[in-house]
Chain A
Amino acid sequence: MTNFIQPYADYAGEWLPVLLEAMGTTALLSVSAFALSLVFGLLLALCRNTRWRALRRCVALYVAAVRGVPLLAILFLLYFGLPGIGVTFDAFTAAVIGLALAFAAQVAELLRAGLMAIPAGQREAAFAVGFTPYQSFTLIVLPQVVRISVAPLIVTFVSLLKDSSLASLITVDELVLTGRAMATEYFLPLHIYLAVGVCYFLIAWPFSLLSKRLAPPAAR
């Protein structure tokens, strides 16, 4: 056992800064992708609830398509595939867009469930006392939707954070790719991948705990 721990003691000084920097990249990647997917997901959720049937159908189709296609295929298509038809992204941008596109579908479903949970009377009452549709949405409906959806949204963020590891396969130097590079350099793959796992756990666990605290008592 002491033999196993020894490399950590020996290399802590070299590994820590590298891993911390990679953790930063992972965090930046996840946060930007999540922000984008929130915006996109809200748009999709609103489109899903409109009067126009064609728009509703299109969004439903998008959500179903994204649910059935692996994230890795989306990332490869964006990063390796699109240059073939003349659109080029750098790896980080491609990863942000790919993650956002994939998770927007999940966010949209969550928000839609939240929107449907608000009784119609809320909007009607808002209209009756003279709120404009925009005001009734932003001041009355949205805050309640946020309260309902915040716990599942945090769970979604944790899965996005984990799936950001796939960006390593399109050469974004986040935690996993950094781990791979270190594994070949130091030839201690088990130690390094365990350390990488701990890094992810340290970012993800607080959010998991938070989502449990915020969940309504019935769902606990």
Chain B
Amino acid sequence: MSGLSTFTMILEGLLAGAGVTVAVTLASLLLSVSLGFLLAIVRQFGKRRMLHALIDAYCEIMRNIPALTHLFILYFGLASIGFRLSSISAAILGLGLIGGAITCDLFRAGFAALPKGQAEAALAVGFTPYRTIVDILTPQAMRIALPSLGNYAVQLLKDTSIVSAIAAPEIMFYARSMVTSSFQTTLIYSTVAILYLALALPLMRRSACSKPGTRG
């Protein structure tokens, strides 16, 4: 009886952070998808070599440095030169900027997978280059990129746990503060694992279904 009531108590405590976890996930997902899409379009269809080099450099920097370091630079680093971000906005900005580089690659892979004839045919029947990209290429590329975007969303949801390190009040943050007050360490962190799994499961289902050959 007491075991179950402790569990419910812990779960209630953690649920207080679930809202922030979901909000940070959604906000950074939105930021990263829009940024990534923009970067992918410019990188794939833009003509300026300079811009290509800049985008490539941006992607390499974002992809080869841990999220935790990016967050510390944004939260502690910028604060020291007088540019103070709240922990939640630093979290969203950090995860979103990193995600921009990741989703840029996913969208580019989507565009690259389209047969060349699609663009040529659209241009031949009189679509402007802009309308070709918007009406013909983007919808098809989106479909190709969707499964990997789903995987990325699961990854992002899990990665929000590290923003507890810059004191954003999400699930892990509540877990850590509960540990210091109740010492139910094993139970609390197991509950955290279950809670994240429960949040990730709907997303995982989606992404697994749209990718053939991953079930079973």
Any B CB within 8 A of the CB of A123? no
- Whether A176 pairs with B72 at a CB distance below 8 angstroms is yes
User: Can you name the residue of chain A whose Cβ is closest to the Cβ of B179?
Assistant: A80
Interface readout for B74-87 with A: 1 if CB under 8 Å, 0 if not?
Answer: 00111111000000
Contacts of A164 in B (CB 8 A): 66
Q: Which segment, of A10-18, A125-133, A134-142, A192-200, faces chain B?
A: A192-200
Nearest CB in chain B: distance from A69 CB, A: 4
Range class of the A interface residue count: 35 or more
A176 to B162, CA, bound (A): 13
Residues of B within 8 A of A69 (CB): 158, 193, 196-197, 200
Which residues of B are found within 8 Å of A188, using beta-carbon distances?
A: 80
B5 at the interface (CB under 8 A from A): no
- Count the A-B residue pairs with Cβ separation under 8 angstroms: how many? 134
Chain A CB within 8 A of B61 CB: yes
Q: A124: which B residues are within 8 A, CB to CB?
A: none
With a CB–CB cut-off of 8 A, which chain A residues contact B161?
Answer: 70-73
Residue A1 lies at the interface, judged by CB distance under 8 Å to chain B? no
B165: chain A residues at CB < 8 Å are 169
Q: Which residues of A contact B77 (CB under 8 A)?
A: 189-191, 193-194
Tell me whether A60 is interfacial, beta carbon within 8 Å: yes
| A165 close to chain B: CB less than 8 A | yes
Q: Which residue of B lies closest to A69 (CB)?
A: B193
B60:A205 contact, CB within 8 angstroms: yes
CA–CA, A67 to B214, complex, Å? 13
Contact B172 A77 (CB under 8 A): no
A70 and B171 alpha carbons, distance in the complex (Å): 11
Given A72-B161, A81-B186, the answer on whether A67 and B64 have CB atoms closer than 8 Å is no
Taking the closest CB of chain B, its distance from the CB of A35, in whole angstroms, is 20
A212 to B130, CA, bound (A): 31
> Which residues of B from 89 to 148 have beta carbons under 8 Å from A?
none
Residue A204 is within 8 A (CB to CB) of chain B in the complex: yes
Contacts A194-B77, A205-B60 given: A81-B69 contact, CB under 8 Å? no
Known contacts A67-B204, A68-B197, A83-B185; is-contact A73 B80 (Cβ 8 Å) = no
A84 within 8 A of partner (CB):
yes
**CB of B29 within 8 A of chain A?**
no
Residues of chain A contacted by B192 (CB below 8 angstroms): 73, 76
- Given A70-B161, A74-B193, A190-B77, are A205 and B204 neighbors across the interface (CB < 8 Å)? no
A interface residues (Cβ-Cβ under 8 A, vs B): 56, 60, 64-65, 67-74, 76-77, 80-85, 109, 116, 158, 161-166, 168-169, 175-176, 179-180, 183, 187-191, 193-194, 196-197, 200-201, 204-205, 208
Known: A72-B164, A190-B78. 7 other contacts (CB 8 A): A68-B200, A69-B196, A73-B192, A80-B189, A85-B186, A158-B64, A175-B69
A selection of 26 A-B contacts at a CB cut-off of 8 Å is A60-B216, A67-B154, A68-B196, A68-B200, A68-B204, A69-B197, A70-B159, A70-B162, A70-B196, A76-B189, A80-B185, A80-B189, A81-B189, A81-B190, A162-B64, A162-B67, A164-B66, A165-B66, A165-B67, A168-B68, A176-B66, A189-B79, A194-B77, A200-B65, A204-B64, A205-B64
